[in-house]
Amino acid sequence: MPLRGRFTPPGDKSVSHRLILLSLLAKGEMLVRGLSDCEDVASSLKCFRALGGKATEEQDGLRVTGLDRNFPPMPESGEIDLECENSGTTMRLLAGILAGAPGRYVLTGDAQLSRRPMERVAEPLRLMGAKVSTMAGKPPMVVEGGKVNSSEYALKDASAQVKGAVLLAGLSASDGGPTVVLERASTRAHTERLVDFFKGRVSVDGLRISIWPGTLVLKDTFLAPADPSSAAFFLTGAAIIPDSKVTAENILLSPGRIGFLRVLDRMGANVSITLTSDTPEPVGEATVEYAGPLKGAEIAPEEVPSLIDEVPVLALAATRAEGRTVFRKVDELRIKETDRLMSIRHQLGALGARIKIEGDDLVVEGPTSFIMPESLDSGSDHRLAMTLSLALLAAKRNVPILGSGSISVSYPGFGAQLEALCRG
C-alpha cells in the first residue's frame, strides 16, 4: 500500500527540550507554539516545574516564564528529586544547568534510562568544579551545584547532549571566562543556536564552540519546527514502497539533522527540499518520491551524527536496496534505550534480512525477500517499533509488534498518521 500526501510531524524533540530547559536560565516570558507533545519532552516540562518554573497551557501554545536562575530553596530533606523518566536528554542537559545552581539535586530515571551512561556528562562538569556523582557510571546522577568555572573540554564522543550540558554549565561560570567545547565531529547545534537566539554570547569556529556566562532573554513567541526524526519514517517509507510520494511540512532542516535525506538521495530516491526560514534554525519542507529500487550505499563515520536516530529505518531501506549497505562506526547505538544495534540485527533478521554486525559497523545485503515470524519485538524501543511498523507495511503483512506502546515516547500520533498517508 503506497504512502501519499502531505503531513506535519510533531514539534522537534531536541528543540522542544531545549526551549523548556533553557528557560531555567532565562528571563522574560514566551509563548511556544508547536512544542512536541511526546513523553520525553513532558519529562523536561515536569522537571522545569519541579524547579519552580511556570508553564501554562493556552489555546494556541504553552506560555513559559523564565526562571532566571531563581531556583527554589532546598526542602527539609536537603535535596530536590527530579524524575527524568525515559529521557536521557532531560537528564544530561539538566545536569549542566544545575552544575551552577546552589543545592543538591538527584536526577533519576526509569529502568531503561538507568542503564544509560552518564559519566560522559559527569566528567566534564567535574572539571568545571561541580560535584557530580553517578552509580557505577549510570543514573541516578547527583549534582551538588554551586560554583563552576570556565573550562576547555575536548569531547570524547560525538554527542550533542554532552556538548549541550557543558555549554549550559558555562552560562553560569563564575570567573567570567569562556567555556570551550572541541568536537570530534559536527553534532546537532541546537543548544548554541538557541543560546544565540536568546541573546547569549556564543561563538562557533568550525568544531570549536565557545560560550560566555550570562542570562538569556526569551522571545515573545517561538514556533517550534517539526521533527525530522519523526518525519524520517514516512519519508523513508516513501523511498521503498512503490507509487509513494510524501511531503513533510515545517520540518527542521539543519544539516546535522537531515543526513538520512542525503543518504536516501544517494541510494536513488527522488528527494527534494524547500527552505522557507532560517532563524534561528533552517525550516522548510522535504519530499521523497519512490523512484524504483534503491541501491546500496556506504555511510561514513563522519555522517553518523547527522542520522544516528534514523539508522533503524535506514537499515530497513537497505533491506530493500540492491547490493551492500554499510553503516560505519555506529557503536553509539549500543547505548540507546536498548542495545539498538543488536535489536536492529535481530528484528530485521527475523524478517529474513541478511544483516550482520562487524565490529562497530552494521552491514546489510539486499534486497530481502521478507519472511514473517509470528511476532516482532521492539524491546520497547520507540524508533525500532516505528521501523517495524513500516517493515510490515512494505511486506504487506500484519503481525503483533511487542512493545509498540513505546512509540508515544517520541510520536504519539504515529499510528493515526500512518493510516492517513495510506489513505492518500
What is the rounded CA–CA span in Å between residue 124 and residue 96?
Answer: 10
Q: What is the Cα gyration radius of the chain?
A: 21
Q: How far apart are the first and last CA of the chain?
A: 10
What is the rounded CA–CA span in Å between residue 10 and residue 248?
Answer: 11
With H, G, I as helix, E, B as strand and everything else as coil, classify residue 235: helix
**Could you tell me the three cell numbers for 251?**
520540518
230: exposed, middle or buried (C-beta count within 10 Å: 0-12, 13-18, 19+)?
buried
Q: What stretches of 245-315 adopt beta strand conformation (E)?
A: 245-252, 270-277, 283-289, 298-299
Residue type, 200: G
What is the rounded CA–CA span in Å between residue 384 and residue 112?
Answer: 15
With H, G, I as helix, E, B as strand and everything else as coil, classify residue 220: coil
**Catalytic member of 40, 227, 309, 381:** 309
235 Cβ contact partners less than 8 Å away, ≥ 6 residues apart: 246, 248, 260, 261, 264, 286, 288
What is the rounded CA–CA span in Å between residue 103 and residue 101?
Answer: 6
416 Cβ contact partners less than 8 Å away, ≥ 6 residues apart: none
DSSP calls for 321-379: SBEEEEE-S-GGGGGSSS-HHHHHHHHHHHTT-EEEEETTEEEEEE-------S-EE-T
Q: Give the largest CA-CA distance in the chain.
A: 65
Q: Are 7 and 234 spatial neighbours (Cβ–Cβ below 8 Å)?
A: yes
**Could you tell me the three cell numbers for 232?**
524520517
With H, G, I as helix, E, B as strand and everything else as coil, classify residue 20: helix
CA 257 from chain centre, in angstroms, equals 9
Q: Are 149 and 167 spatial neighbours (Cβ–Cβ below 8 Å)?
A: no
Q: Are 31 and 220 spatial neighbours (Cβ–Cβ below 8 Å)?
A: yes
Q: Are 30 and 63 spatial neighbours (Cβ–Cβ below 8 Å)?
A: yes
- Establish whether 377 is a catalytic residue: no
Instruction: Indicate which residues carry an active-site annotation.
Output: 309
